[in-house]
A and B are shown apart, each in its own frame.
Chain A
Amino acid sequence: MALVNMRTLNLMRSTLVGDSAEAAGGLSAPRRGAVRRLLAGPIVDLMVGPHGIDRYLELISPTLTLHEPRAQVLAVTRQTARTVTLTVDPNRAFTGFRAGQFVRVGVEIDGRRYTRTYSPTISEHDLRSWRRPPVWPRRPEDHPPLLEFTVTVREGGVVGAYLREHAAPGMLLHLSDAAGAFILPECRPDHVALISGGSGITPTIAMLRTLIAEGHRGQIDFLHYGRGAADWLYRPQVEAIAAAHPNVDARFIATREGGERFCAGTVAADAHVLVCGPPSLIDAVRAAHPEASAETFTPPTLALGAGAGAATGTVSFLASGHSAPISPGTLLEQAEAAGLTPQYGCRMGICHGCSCTKVAGTVQNILTGELSTEEDQEIQICISVPVSDVALAL
């Protein structure tokens, strides 16, 4: 109970700090609120119709949008050989996140926008507590706590490789609202175990930082599995936290160098376990802690009912002129097997990066079981399987 109170207290404090900052800003803060309200109001909406206020504000500055969450890259660091860490300044349309959630991040590469999902790695309170100072004049102390993403370069991936190579201060990112159910319980448990593998550290570092910001007094076990020391993300930051907080126990394990695998007893049985990483790690953790909350960054395996799995027929890719008999797997996999290179993002139904028009036929969403029978529907091909002959605009 004491812990919950502590967190509430922190939230209250941050609200108060925000208010006092606004008061210190004199008249400018309330006036600014009025301007924003006016700009987002119905009269201005008519005046800037049909395009909307954001289409004009973005021409003054790309992050001035009222409705579209966007961010500008402020700093770029490269923690490891296969990652890049972006410190970004989100605009006010970005409404915050809970530690462990993800944000869909859009990046423009050669005229095309690609969208990927990344988890912010800062404490969830950093963004919440902060109120944007007046647009002008900007004082150095107005500098906001910034959002941070760490992007891993994947084999054959477009966005990771591009960001690692080309990300630079000033670059514009398109954000979405945060989403995802992989979060700390509202009532913080006494003993928390944060376990991650590879890039799965991004949500767990946010959780660790959030708990520290809340003054969490219970035990925190932070376990990270990476290929080797050269691939460990956030090691100095985690070790600094562990050094300053005796209740934090941090361990980095090199899986390629014979590091000990996760097994029963690695963390105490009474711990509240949160795990993010490859399916093998999640399986190992779940074997010892069946109620652990987990998130994987790899696609779910296909578990089809007899109906959908038994479908026979042809998938036609109209734009490229290819076609192939229906095979097991998602439409995205079938397109790739047919030699196409369709766009994709998360490959697990989150980001809509692979959405394309299904011109004809019936497909089933393997996540929801939902059937799509209409013609000309936008579908997510990474989570759709054909139930009949299907024609895609690919």
Chain B
Amino acid sequence: MPITYGDLTPEQVQTLGHELDAIRNRVRAELGQADLDYIRTVIKAQRGLEVSGRAMLELGWLAPLWLGGTAALALSKILDNMEIGHNVMHGQYDWTNDPALNSQTFEWDTACPAEQWRHSHNYMHHTFTNILDMDRDIGYGILRMSEEQRWSPYFVGNLLYATLLMLLFEWGVAVHDLEVEELFSGSKSIADKRDMLKAIWRKGGRQALKDYVIFPALAGPGAPLTLAGNATANIIRNIWAFSIIFCGHFPDGVQEFSKAEAANETKGEWYLRQMLGSANITGGRLFHILSGNLSFQIEHHLFPDIPARRYAAISTEVREICERYGLPYNAGPLHRQLGSVFLKLARLSLPWIGNSPFNRSYRRPTRRPADVAVTVPAAATREPVAV
């Protein structure tokens, strides 16, 4: 049961894949000084905001400096995590051979160890995007994000958990790769996770020490205000990152897939799944930068290792391809996309929605019109999936 949409034939899906490959190859060949200059400018801005924000917060007893410092530090952490950290760790700048931009060695200003993020995000999420029971970003193991997830009384608190996750997002991300549910189900023991726990403790500990001990201590009697400013900056970053990331795959109209659908995928089908499983957020240039260009989630999922500043230009081509193939291109402003995510969270906390013991009429959805006969291409024509 290969992935398809509407009445696309497997041959059309393959052609679609070739068109997207061509875009990717063309843009990769174009990469050069301008891309490096861009990310260095962003890094410069981030470090400037960070240093000035921290300096202002040392004098946090002056209200304007507390406000300015908190805002600058929050912006610094947002830039560090989104446009710089997330994108650098995808290997978007590995071609520069600059060790400071190396995907395998980069660390970011958040509690999650980069090493674990590279596994849970770059590998798990980007490979198995929106495949139920494989992509752990669906609900992060604690939320009900899909009608096909079976309801249990625990999910009554869906909105509450989401709000808590939003406020504490950096710590949620930090423990994400641990796959805590394996501990609850007993399939793994604490001993199996010891190295990961140690790494989280080390990284999270250093982050906490920096934000909640050292910089406040330097402020002397102003310590509580510095601490409050640092905590506020972290929470602002958490809310922002959560909002952008949850708008990437959970707004209305974004599709999920089953393991069976995604089995033995061709490159074209992989592209198709990424397009159908992602949603964009519309906005201005500054908004895109602050979102790490994850507002171009569709383009990012098609080309995760192309420098994100290129997504805006690529998006016009992708839109055109979507129109030509009759594919949806899910895009909307932040308030609409985020609103639909929270509406979904609220709906799915209810026991009579979707797969639930209280909803006997529930049937797993069929994802394509039944009258379209889809022939599975011969194995020989299948291309390997680029991971």
Which residues of A are interface residues toward B (Cβ below 8 A)?
43, 46-47, 49-51, 55-56, 59, 106, 108, 110-115, 318, 343
Q: Are A43 and B214 in touch, CB under 8 angstroms?
A: yes
A-B contact pairs, 22 of them (CB 8 A): A43-B214, A46-B206, A46-B210, A47-B210, A49-B107, A50-B114, A50-B206, A55-B43, A55-B100, A56-B47, A59-B44, A59-B47, A106-B97, A108-B98, A110-B32, A110-B33, A111-B33, A111-B36, A112-B32, A112-B97, A115-B97, A343-B97
Is the Cβ of B97 less than 8 Å from the Cβ of A46?
Answer: no
Q: Are B97 and A50 in contact (CB under 8 A)?
A: no
Within 8 A of A (CB), among B25-48: 31-37, 43-44, 47-48
Residues of B within 8 A of A51 (CB): 47, 107, 109
Nearest 3 Cβ contacts at the A-B interface:
A50-B107, A111-B36, A113-B97
Q: With A and B bound together, what is the CA distance between A112 and B33 in angstroms?
A: 8
Contact of A111 among B35, B44, B109, B214 (CB under 8 A): B35
CA distance A110 to B43 in the complex (A): 19
Shortest Cβ distance from residue A51 to the other chain B in the assembled complex, whole angstroms:
7
Chain A contacts of B207 at CB under 8 A?
49-50
Flag if B206 contacts A111 (CB, 8 Å).
Answer: no
Provide the B87-108 mask, 1 if CB < 8 A to any CB of A, else 0: 0000000011110100000011
A47 touches B214 (CB 8 A): yes
A contact residues around B203 at 8 Å (CB): 50
Total interface residues in chain B, CB < 8 Å = 29
Find out whether the CB atom of B206 lies under 8 angstroms from the CB atom of A49. yes
With CB as the reference atom, state the residue of chain A lying closest to B33: A111
B209 contacts the other chain (CB 8 A): yes
Chain A contacts for B33, CB-based, 8 A: 110-111
Besides A49-B107, A115-B97, 4 new A-B residue pairs in contact (Cβ under 8 A), listed by A number? A43-B214, A46-B209, A49-B207, A108-B98
B215 within 8 Å of A by Cβ? yes
In the assembled complex, the Cα of A318 lies from the Cα of B385 at a distance in Å of: 11
B210: A residues at CB distance < 8 A: 46-47, 49
Contact of A55 among B32, B47, B215, B386 (CB under 8 A): B47
Cβ < 8 Å to A, chain B residues 64-106: 95-98, 100
A50 to B215, CA, bound (A): 15
In the complex, B51 has a CB within 8 A of chain A: yes
Please, which residues of chain A bring their CB within 8 A of the CB of B109?
Answer: 50-51
The residues of A that contact B107 with a CB separation of less than 8 Å are: 49-51
Contact B215 A47 (CB under 8 A): yes
Least CB distance from B132 to A in Å reads 27
Residue of A nearest to B28 (CB): A319
Give complex CA distance A28, B43 in Å.
32
Contacts of B1-38 to chain A: CB distance below 8 A = 31-37
B88 to chain A, nearest CB (A): 11
A359 and B386 CA atoms in complex are apart in Å by 12
Quick one: which of B105-127 are within 8 Å of A by CB?
107-109, 114
CB distance from A384 to the nearest CB of B (A): 19
Q: Please give, as numbers and ranges, the residues of chain B lying within 8 Å of A55 by CB-CB distance.
A: 43, 47, 100
**Given A43-B214, A111-B36, are A50 and B100 also a contact pair (CB < 8 Å)?**
no
Tell me which residues across on chain B come within 8 A of A112, comparing CB atoms.
32, 95-97
Contacts of B386 in A (CB 8 A): 318
Known: A111-B31, A111-B34, A114-B97. A56 touches B51 (CB 8 A): yes
Taking the closest CB of chain B, its distance from the CB of A394, in whole angstroms, is 13
A303 to B48, CA, bound (A): 54
Q: Report the separation of the CA atoms of residues A113 and B207 in the bound assembly, to the nearest whole angstrom.
A: 31
Residues from chain A with Cβ under 8 Å of B44 in the complex: 59
Q: How far is the CA of A268 from the CA of B37 in the complex (A)?
A: 57
